Amino acid sequence: MQSDFNQHLNELAAISTQAHQDFTAIGVQKVCKVFISTNSKCEAITNNLSDTFNGCILKATSKHIIDMLEDIRRLVMARMQAKRELILRSNDEICPNIRKKLEKNKRETRCCHVTPAGNLKFEVQQMERSHVVNLSNCTCSCRYWDISGIPCNHAISCIVWLKEDPDNYVDNYYKKEAYLKTYEFLMEPLTGKDTWPQVEGPHVLPPPVKKMPGRPKKKRRREVHEEESSSRLSKRGVVMSCSLCKQDGHNRRSCPLRALASPSATDIEAQIENSRRTRPSSSRGKGRTTSGRVHLETDISVSETDIYLKAV
């Protein structure tokens, strides 16, 4: 609702004026549901559809252009057939996901109190708030019904008061007939490459491939506010520690002792680095334990640090 939006906007301004200015500068009409148009009958304003599609074609994008398009064509062909069979097996006139949302809204009507005003207009009280429902226009002041096309709990309470079926007030976009029209067209199967007609003209060569350094990136770049993958440990919040001065906040490369070190100390440090690279393994075979290896490395690092600090 507009009142809720203004209240939250004022709370944001009280917390941070700069954040309030940055938020209003991007155009709140594009990101807030209170300004969404009611023509699309969709409450989602995210790009989840494109992200889902990019995730499905992730393996296909690593192939050549013709093979990639063939994989995408087969994927779309199989999906359209699966969706068509799914809705044909259903005996419900409303799509499955919409049915779940509608049943959820029905359960939330227990806290609604309906007061009829006449001409299919009602006032619905829910806790400390009141909403206006107009069944003739399929609207509610909470705007959930207007945006999504699914009757909200306030509208359902009015429909039940009239002893009517809420299914009749669901938008036609979510009916079985509209679903079948979406997937009624077939993606025609094709034969293999060996049966394709030969095209006359010059032979087109692929563009030169420039190999970039590092591993090729296939996943999309995440925004700052997005959560990272849970399968990898994040280094966010990890405090670096220096192996020379044993202080936090920097590492060995940026240690201030390196800048203040004398030439002799720098030479000693270089000798330490060389000895680390060329030092043979102290124990080989199956008898070496993890605890012994950790203890040995700890002793070496402490002794090397003492030598370095004495030289400084």
Residues 6+ apart with CB under 8 A from 197: none
Neighbours of 171 (CB within 10 A): 15
Q: Nearest 5°: CA angle at 25, between 24 and 29?
A: 60
For the chain, give percent helix, strand, coil, nearest 5: 50, 10, 40
Distance CA 78, CA 205 (A): 32
* pLDDT for the residue numbered 161: 93
> Does the pLDDT of residue 290 top 70, yes or no?
no
> Does the pLDDT of residue 285 top 50, yes or no?
no
pLDDT band at residue 231, thresholds of 50, 70 and 90? low
Q: pTM score, two decimals? A: 0.62
Chain centroid, CA 1 distance in Å: 26
* pLDDT for the residue numbered 122: 93
Rounded to whole angstroms, what are the CA distances from 261 to 69, 149, 242, 310? Answer: 61, 72, 15, 10
* Whether 261 contacts 269, CB under 8 Å: yes
Share of the chain above pLDDT 70, in %: 78
Strands 129-134 and 139-140: antiparallel
Q: Give SS3 for 41.
A: coil
pLDDT band at residue 268, thresholds of 50, 70 and 90? low
* pLDDT for the residue numbered 81: 93
Distance CA 133, CA 121 (A): 6
* pLDDT for the residue numbered 114: 92
Closest CA to 99 of 109, 111, 87, 110: 87
Strands in the chain per DSSP E: 112-118, 121-126, 129-134, 139-140
* pLDDT for the residue numbered 94: 92
Rg, the chain, Cα only: 33
Distance CA 218, CA 112 (A): 50
Dihedral sign, Cα of residue 255, residue 261, residue 265, residue 268: positive
Tell me the residue length of the chain.
312
For 259-287, what is the mean pLDDT?
Answer: 57
More confident residue, 206 or 100: 100
> Does the pLDDT of residue 282 top 60, yes or no?
no
For 231-257, what is the mean pLDDT?
Answer: 79
Local structure of residue 225 (DSSP, 8 states): T
Comparing 26-35, 106-115, 156-165, 177-186, which segment has the lowest mean pLDDT?
Answer: 26-35
Hey, what's the torsion of the CAs at 104, 105, 110, 111, to 10 degrees? Answer: 120
Distance CA 124, CA 135 (A): 12
Distance CA 209, CA 65 (A): 14
* Whether 152 contacts 144, CB under 8 Å: yes
Per-residue pLDDT of 69-118, as tens digits, reads 999 999 999 999 999 999 999 899 999 999 999 999 999 998 899 999 98
Per-residue pLDDT of 144-163, as tens digits, reads 999 899 999 999 999 999 99
How high is the mean pLDDT of the chain? 80
* pLDDT for the residue numbered 34: 77
